Amino acid sequence: MAARRPQQQTTPPTLPTFAELGVPAALTRVLAATGVDRPFPIQAATLPDALAGRDVLGRGRTGSGKTYAFALAVLTRLAASAAPRRPGRPRALILAPTRELATQIDSVLAPLAQALSLRTMTVFGGVAARPQIAGLRAGVDVLVACPGRLADHVQAGHAHLDAVEISVLDEADHMADLGFLPTVRRLLELTPRGGQRLLFSATLDSGVDVLVRRFLTDPVVHSVDSPRSPVAAMTHHVLHVQAEDRFAVLVDLTAAPGRTVVFTRTKRGAKTLTRRLVAAGVAAVELHGNLAQGARTRNLKAFSDGTVRTLVATDIAARGIHVDDVALVVHADPPVEHKAYLHRSGRTARAGAAGTVVTLMTDTQAPEVRELTRKAGIAATTTRLRPGDALLRELAPGDRTLAVTPAAPPTAARREASPASAGRRRRGSGKASPAASARAGAATFPRSGGNAPARSGGNAPARTGGIGSARSGAAAFSARARPGGRGGGR
């Protein structure tokens, strides 16, 4: 049956409490214990309709609180339902584009679900299927899944979606960008036609509209801000630098106190840049699609708990990943398109906090960066500078800390170096300037750039080089591949 035209609603002028919105006391107590006592606009706007059983189309920029908006609705409605939990038949389905986002959603859901004696679990690729099969067989109320692995379980008969009362699509536009729409459609077609559907996204573009027309019935649309509305507490800077200065500037920024997320265009670039930063004395970890799931989880945990302060990532971390108190986002490689810029930048200034976004730009990148910021609706301050400029201390305040790294095991390139130069590399006080440490980091590892093909976040080939290359970033990544990759859907 064709969906009727969505009814546009406006955000309430004043925000009621969760209890006034209809959230049960068992859940409000859990929220209060975690410091969440008043709803954000997206939550106040969507909860009344979602709790009433309406199909909802919710749009809010990244960091606006969409997870709680659908989590509270799903759990409240399941708790009020008399349907029993059955083996292999989840009662609610939440689809997410990446493994990290699925895990993060479940971390929000789990304590709330426990208060209502409901059971949640995650299903995604990159990990063993057997524990997931056992969990499905034991019965689950809310299943948080990436489309690819869930489709595998459905095809094998381990999961059946005919008992799903509520379906949720989170980051639906990213799902479309990653090419998941055919799988998502097949999964949703297996859910009961009369079930409730909630779709949440940062943008509601043409790819999302396909899902809306096919699966949502008379949906209420809640848009709490414009697709390009900037975050008031987020400041944007473009640093116009010489290609040979890019890495030194980056070391200066990441050696400052506070959490920093650095984005590259390719997985190979993220890996190589991480190695160079560590060699220069910056505690950094990487996050990209070439890592095994265990490594991805460990690295994200190390960044979240403060063991390391710098995360170097591809666009796999641009959507949905929330880590408290990220002070700085650096586009080491400017993204390909403006939506990626907005989502990357959204890792800082979340939930009302302040944050700074820095884009490194060389002469050859100036036209594309100007176009990028124009399309993103960003008024960025552009400054031409060199390493050591006082502005770097303003953008990333505090004393710089660079660790003394142990000597790396000999490599073919290092064995060819003279003993005297090797000795000079081993000596150091750990108090070197960021620029000096950057030069040391560039010399520590053999070239990783060259002309070897690298895989971008999508499926298109990309040239290596850029700031992640040992060629000290003489050329930016120029891949025009779709950012993000499959993101762990399988």
Average per-residue pLDDT in the chain? 78
Asked if 290 and 207 sit in the same domain, the reply is: no
Q: Is residue 417 part of a domain?
A: no
Same domain, 190 and 238: no
Strand partners, 201: 59
Q: Do 107 and 74 share a structural domain?
A: yes
- Answer yes or no: is 124 within a domain: yes
The closest alpha carbon to 230, from 355, 337, 324, belongs to: 355
Whether residue 340 is found in the same domain as residue 218: no
CATH, residue 266:
3.40.50.300
Q: Let me know whether 191 and 238 are in one domain.
A: no
Mind listing the pLDDT tens digit for each residue in 418-432?
Answer: 333 334 333 334 445
Task: Say if residue 165 is in the same domain as residue 306.
Answer: no
Q: Which tens digits make up the pLDDT trace of 464-482?
A: 345 554 433 333 333 333 3
Does residue 91 share a domain with residue 13? yes
| Mean pLDDT value across residues 6-18 | 60
- pLDDT, tens digit (0-9, with 9 covering 90-100), for 46-90: 999 999 999 999 887 666 688 999 999 999 999 998 789 999 999
Give the domain-ending residue among 223, 250, 278.
Answer: 223
Higher pLDDT, 405 or 169: 169
Q: Mark whether 180 and 329 lie in a shared domain.
A: no
218 and 247, same domain (yes or no): no
- Type and span of the H or E element at 422: helix 419-426
Tokens of 143: 């299943």
Q: Has residue 436 got a pLDDT over 80?
A: no
E-assigned strands of 241-352?
A: 259-263, 284-287, 310-313, 326-331
For residue 426, being part of any structural domain is answered with no
User: Is 424 within the bounds of a domain?
Assistant: no
The answer to whether position 62 is within a domain reads yes
**Number of domains the chain is built from:** 2
CB 252 within 8 A of CB 439: no
Last residue within a domain, chosen from 189, 223, 257 = 223
**Mean pLDDT over residues 262-290, rounded?**
92
Residue type, 214: R
Strand order in the sheet with 166-169: 7-9, 220-223, 56-59, 196-201, 166-169, 92-95, 142-145, 120-123
Residues 146 and 168 in one domain: yes
Confidence at residue 331, expressed as pLDDT on a 0 to 100 scale: 93
210 and 240: one domain? Answer: no
Over residues 182-226, the pLDDT tens digits come to 999 999 999 999 999 999 887 766 678 888 888 999 999 988 754
E strand or H helix at 243? none
Residue range(s) defining the domain that contains residue 333: 234-405+433-468
Strands (E) across 23-147 are located at 56-59, 92-95, 120-123, 142-145
**How far is CA 349 from each of CA 220, 311, 459, rounded to the nearest angstrom?**
28, 16, 31
Q: Count CB neighbours of 162 within 10 A.
A: 9
Residue 411 lies in a domain: no
pLDDT score recorded for residue 318? 64
Tell me what the mean pLDDT of segment 150-156 comes to.
Answer: 96
Is residue 445 classed as helix, strand or coil in its secondary structure? coil
* End position of a domain, from candidates 177, 195, 223: 223
pLDDT higher than 90, residue 410? no
Q: Does residue 144 register a pLDDT over 50? A: yes
Does residue 475 sit within a domain? no
Residues 219 and 238 in one domain: no
* Residue 488 resides in a domain: no
User: In terms of DSSP bridges, do strands 92-95 and 259-263 run parallel, antiparallel, or are they unpaired?
Assistant: unpaired
